[in-house]
Amino acid sequence: MVNANREENINFPKKGHTNNWAVLVDTSRFWFNYRHVANVLSIYRSVKRLGIPDSQIILMIADDMACNPRNPRPATVFNNANQHINVYGDDVEVDYRGYEVTVENFVRLLTGRLPPGTPRSKQLLTDEGSNVLVYLTGHGGDGFFEISRLRRNYQSRNGRCVRADVAETKVIIKINKKGAKYHETFFMIDTCQAASMYERFYSPNILAVGSSLVGEDSLSHHVDPAIGVYIIDRYTYYALDFLEKVDPQSNRTMGEFLKVCPKSVCISTVGVRRDLFRRNPDHVPITDFFGSVRPINLLGNVTLQLINIGEPETTVFESHKPKKYRYIPPLVNFNTLKT
């Protein structure tokens, strides 16, 4: 046996980057918005592949395209017309679904103001060492994005859209009295006029990218004839093309990721806001937001000492419990008796 004499009280750093979280949100309903569900599930698949566990991913989907009556292949969602990958899969854990995807729940989640008794799976349990990826997809406009609500028994054309104004969402990332609830945050927004969503951010250490500038639409990529609708948006398509070439040990950077969709392929102009971010994105590994972080402490001086155990002793265990059954002698053999 080996005994390791090492330094006691090994403390991991309480400040700095120690863990990653992801908040992935699709705000759209109705079959013609199939691509938005494919967008968010594709990012979900990528961050899980790169190591972020489900316990640190909050997935919000306003509608379930996998079980939509119009889906020709029930229980599936694809992000490519070749249908190679079912991004819905067998291990998708949706935390907020359908009517739970509201402006109120979204803001409460990111500000930590959830009602008492909220399950841990629906809470963003970040700390001062947490890097947070926030991905938004759906319909948007100048200064807002839309969360569709469908009232029961209403037809799809009567769906009501609720505006989530930037003035309201600018409190998403906050610093409370107990200290910072995040280390760094990366906003990735794929909506029309996405850049307007981050224009009024003011909290420190936020890096943001939007698929389109103010006044521009964010366009879809291609149609799947078998499904009959667009199945992925352009910006997310090229972002995924980049992420598929990344592994947990990759040295690719956030600076490279911010350039994945030039206007020649995106058609819209991708906007980036980096003035609130203290680091140069060209020096930030992409796994700082899309991968897993496992803090370790390297020990410099370790002394190994052999311990002589000696020969094992043989121990006889005797039972002191009273016997449950009593031995009964055999019957008397009368042939042996003397007369």
* Number of neighbouring beta carbons within 10 Å of residue 325: 5
Output the average pLDDT for the chain: 79
For the annotated catalytic residues, the residue numbers are 139, 192
Q: Contact at 8 Å (CB) between 35 and 232?
A: yes
Per-residue model confidence (pLDDT) at position 154: 30
Q: Give yes or no for residue 8 having a pLDDT over 70.
A: no
- What confidence tens digit (pLDDT) does each residue in 181-200 have? 889 999 999 998 888 888 88
**Maximal CA-CA distance, the chain:** 126
DSSP 98: G
- How many Å apart are CA 290 and CA 240, to the nearest integer? 12
- What confidence tens digit (pLDDT) does each residue in 200-236 have? 888 889 999 999 999 998 889 999 888 889 999 999 9
- Assigned token pair, 1: 């046996």
Q: Region 266-283: what's the mean pLDDT?
A: 94
pLDDT tier at 59 (50, 70, 90 boundaries)?
Answer: very high
More confident residue, 316 or 82: 82
Separation in Å, CA 177 to CA 48, 137, 174:
32, 31, 10
State what percent of residues in the chain have pLDDT above 90. Answer: 43
Q: Kindly write down the DSSP assignment for every residue of 75-92, as one continuous string.
A: T--BSSTT---BSS-S--
